[in-house]
Amino acid sequence: MRSSLRGIHVALLACLGLGWALGAAAPLAGQEGLPRLTKNPVANVAFSRLLEAARAEPQNWLTYGGGYDNHRHSALQQVNTGNVGQLQPAWTKQFGKPNGFESTPIVVDGVMYVTTGGHTAVWALDARTGKEYWHHQHYVPDDVAACCDKVNRGVAVADGKVFFVTLDAQLLALDAMSGKPMWKVRFGDPREAHTATLAPLVVKDKVIVGISGAEYGIRGFIDAYDMKTGKQAWRFWTIPGPGEPGNETWGGTEAWRTGGGSAWITGAYDSELDMLYWTVGNPGPDYNGEVRPGDNLYTNSVVALDPDDGTRRWHFQWTPHDVWDYDGVNEVILADLPIGGRSTKALIHADKNGFFYALDRTNGKFLYAKEFARQTWAQKVDPATGRPTINPKAIPGSNYTPGCPGPAGAKEWNHMAFSPQTGLAYIPVIENCAFFRTGQAFFGRGLPFWGSFATADAFGPGESHGFLKAVNAATGEEAWKIKSDHPVMSGVLSTAGGLVFWGEAEGTFHATDAKTGKDLWTANVGSGIHAPPITYAIDGQQYVALAAGWGGWVDGFAPELRSAPRGHSLVVYRLGGGAPPATRTAEAGAR
């Protein structure tokens, strides 16, 4: 995946032996002046409630994707196409962090849980006003080899607990009422360049996480831990070892040991099929494929797993033998769609390689792939199997080879949305090409393992731009698009009010008509937007929340914005703005 000068510097520090240590945690529950929770809002959040979350309680936002199907669609419609122009800020909270703000807030019965980057922290806030109940700070060693900014994408909640990962690859369970740690487990080794940034996923009695660090020659994995105790339940190695199915795709060499395959985006779950879907990232080294002959499974793939024991049911590989850092780790969305004249249990995915895919999620059968962005690496995709025919002129060599998309991909990690009302998927798109070059690949523990590099903006300054594109999920055909001057790096939210919320790299937050693509409302939040918006309701009032803050591997997708304002700002809107009248009255009476 991505790289940066900061990542190289940090990795070199690690190599020089500056050491690593367990992060120190500092829960601040009950700090003088902070309001207190009188009961645990997550006490009754069980698996059965999570299964019905999106349908039965749209006033809450209980999982990373808004539901196990990852639609990021809300049934709330108080804010709609007719009144969205009346949205005004209800409250904001500044966190004083210089890193990218990529978190999805979780809201449970009026309490919001959100993570911040840098030294990973979890915050419990009053979702009406933004007032803090508690926060828990985890101190991350300075020498952790994080390639692309110190970020975190959120929490999972269940069983009275808040689960989150730390950049130094620990999984913690906090008491949701007090913020006090209940258990923690280290599931990766920072000395091996293991890191963690994703929001965990609770399925049944397990907390499921994936590892980051493919740029440093790790061997990736997906883990499950017992929700009550933190005991490891299973591990699925994303790079199969000798004797395991798929190991033969590494050319009979030892390349699997440093094969990459990190799994750093939250998966999806189908309860009817009892199947867990998780995407896997790039192989290592990123750009030199000569040292890893073969398709390099299960990199650039989606794997369907048994959530009870982690065994593989099926897989599909988007980009065999990737030499462009196309990763394949973007989210999957589960939707029942009318494809080919019949209702199909589909899985849709907008890949970094520039193709929008639909698979049969019962068995992994390929249904279709359609280009949604400029691409030059594939001459065609086989309509029966989904396997691409590679353009030989796009394969990196010792000289600089132009190619599209660039290593940031046609779409980054930021989550698209799907509306069952319109049947459209709303994709944040990057139009950005690059020059690729292959070189020697020398593996060193904790050091970047790229096999040369790529440079963004191959066709001149200002050439890169972006779109929000609406695509018919049943066919892959484009319905409408809005162009942005820069790559679109935000996540997306759709609502039953007929709206799509999304953001631009220079800080403009949009509400757009989901059917037509007409912009209906905008606001500038002061910093570029990566995170996906969410919506929730309290006492009959609908809110729209956004974690705004520029950061990440900016040089890879928008180098012209490398000096743009940064910072963590949580911005929440409601119709008419301001705190609800009841809250204002209570605060005034307290004075």
Dihedral sign for Cα atoms in the order 542, 546, 547, 552: positive
Q: Round to whole Å and give the CA distance between 68 and 139.
A: 31
Mark whether 325 is an active-site residue.
yes
Buried residues in 54-83 as b, exposed as e (16+ CB within 10 A): beebbbbbbbbbbbbbbbbbbbbbbbbbee
Nearest of 487, 499, 493, 492 to residue 558 by alpha carbon: 487
Instruction: Give the active site residue among 69, 159, 223, 325.
Output: 325
User: Collapsing DSSP states into helix, strand and coil, what is residue 466?
Assistant: strand
Side chain identity at residue 207, one-letter code: V
> In whole angstroms, what is the distance from residue 280 CA to residue 260 CA?
9
Sequence letter at residue 233 = A
Lookup: tokens for 452: 């040369």
| Strand-pair partners of 279 | 302
DSSP string, 543-591: EEEEEE---SSHHHH-GGGTTS----EEEEEEET-SS-HHHHHHHHHH-
Task: With H, G, I as helix, E, B as strand and everything else as coil, classify residue 452.
Answer: strand
Residue with tokens 């919506």: 535
Place of tokens 């590099």: 453
Distance CA 482, CA 467 (A): 5
Peptide bond preceding 41 in cis form (omega within 30 of 0)? no
The Cα angle at residue 498 between residues 494 and 501, in degrees rounded to 5? 40
Nearest to 424 by CA among 504, 361, 337, 503: 337
Distance CA 276, CA 315 (A): 11
Distance of CA 89 to the CA centre of its chain: 26
User: What are the φ/ψ torsions at residue 295 (nearest 5 degrees)?
Assistant: -75, -25
Report the Cα 178 to chain-centroid distance in Å: 27
The token pair at 273 is 């099929």
Closest CA to 284 of 316, 321, 317, 247: 321
Strand partners, 134: 124
Q: What is the DSSP string of 312-359?
A: EEEEEESSTT-SS-----S--EEEEEEETTEEEEEEEEE-TTSEEEEE
CA 145/CA 14 separation, integer angstroms: 7
Residues carrying an active site annotation: 325
